[in-house]
Amino acid sequence: MLPYNPSGLFPSGRPPRPTYREPHPVGGAGVAAGAVGTLVWLVLFGLLGGGLVGYVWWTLIAGGLAWLAALALVRHGDRGVAAGIAIVTAGGWSLAAVAVATRWLSSGDWPLW
């Protein structure tokens, strides 16, 4: 005969199973704040470049600094903000790569040096 397993509707005398909760859950507000802040950061750095070459190098530098901030936030701060930073930085680097590839395909000359 199989042992009786209670359905949970009635107390069984056994202690309840533990529930594990994340101490600092990722929220949408944190992700949005990191995304907006990084978008402004990348735009301001991108505006420092006079042309495509300057835009790409400034975007790479700004993205690298943003990733360092995201790594610090993952370890010691809000992981939601770090996720927003990482997502927007990847998008900014992708736009810079598309701009370089487009110029390279149209001119036949590598535009970064």
Query: 6-18: per-residue pLDDT in tens?
Result: 666 766 666 777 7
Is 34 within the bounds of a domain?
no
Q: Are 48 and 58 in contact (CB under 8 A)?
A: yes
Q: What is the pTM of this model?
A: 0.78
Is 11 within the bounds of a domain?
no
Is 79 within the bounds of a domain?
yes
Cα–Cα distance, 68 to 41 (Å, whole number): 14
Task: List % helix, strand, coil for the chain (3-state, nearest 5).
Answer: 65, 0, 35
Is 98 within the bounds of a domain?
yes
Report the alpha-carbon angle 22-36-97, nearest 5. 105
Cα–Cα distance, 53 to 21 (Å, whole number): 47
Query: 77-102: per-residue pLDDT in tens?
Result: 889 999 999 999 999 999 999 999 99
Is 1 within the bounds of a domain?
no
Query: 53-81: per-residue pLDDT in tens?
Result: 999 999 999 999 999 999 999 999 889 99
In total, how many domains does the chain have?
1
Range of the domain at 88: 44-107
